[in-house]
Amino acid sequence: MTTVLHTARTTLRPWRDEDREPFAAMCADPVVMEFFPSVMTRDECDEFVQRRATEFDERGWGLWALDVNGRGFAGFVGLAPVGFEAPFAPAIEIGWRLAQPFWNDGLATEAALAALDYGFGVAALPEIVSFTSALNVRSQRVMQKIGMTRRAEDDFEHPRVPEGNALRPHVLYRKKSPRAT
């Protein structure tokens, strides 16, 4: 069964076909994609949405489409397995990407807290990680606001970012389940 999460201002839900267009527009925005090696094509966005649907079918949770109550599709927030080899993997990461009109209003933090609660509660995950380019201070602030901590020795070079690219150095934040012993 697919899970839907609600916060005071948002709904985290499975993806719909009508999300494809605004998602592709968001991922074609160079400001939104500033800390990624490139913007995404429409085909890449459609593949991303299809993978999310498959993950929801398999687990019932994942990277939820994010609706802001009264304003519609805003991006995504959620949980996903780390998809590359790294010293901290296997692990489940929490991530988000919001369209510019939804920035600087605490929405990513609000929705991420709901995803963390689900991850540590219903999904019974012992730990959740998050990572971003060392240059991405905005995402690091969200990680801090949701109670994640960073140890410099966990920072890494992202293997999917080309060597020499300024975005390759990444920071890693972690949060252990309050239930972990």
Per-residue model confidence (pLDDT) at position 38: 95
Per-residue model confidence (pLDDT) at position 181: 55
**CA 43 to chain CA mean position, Å:** 20
Separation CA 55–CA 76 (nearest Å): 14
**CA 119 to chain CA mean position, Å:** 13
Under a CB-based contact definition with an 8 Å cutoff, are residues 125 and 119 in contact?
A: yes
Both tokens of 158, joined, read 């992202």
Per the structure, the count of domains in the chain is 1
Per-residue model confidence (pLDDT) at position 1: 64
Q: What is the pTM of this model?
A: 0.95
For residue 112, being part of any structural domain is answered with: yes
| CATH assignment at residue 57 | 3.40.630.30
Under a CB-based contact definition with an 8 Å cutoff, are residues 92 and 129 in contact?
A: yes
Separation CA 92–CA 23 (nearest Å): 23
For residue 56, being part of any structural domain is answered with: yes
For residue 181, being part of any structural domain is answered with: no
Per-residue model confidence (pLDDT) at position 116: 98
Q: Decide: residue 28, CB within 10 A, 0-12 exposed, 13-18 middle, 19+ buried.
A: middle
Weakly modelled stretches of the chain, pLDDT under 50:
none
For residue 122, being part of any structural domain is answered with: yes
Per-residue model confidence (pLDDT) at position 179: 82
- The whole domain housing 171 covers 5-176
Range 147-166 burial, b when 16+ CB lie within 10 A, else e:
ebebeeebeeebeebeeeee
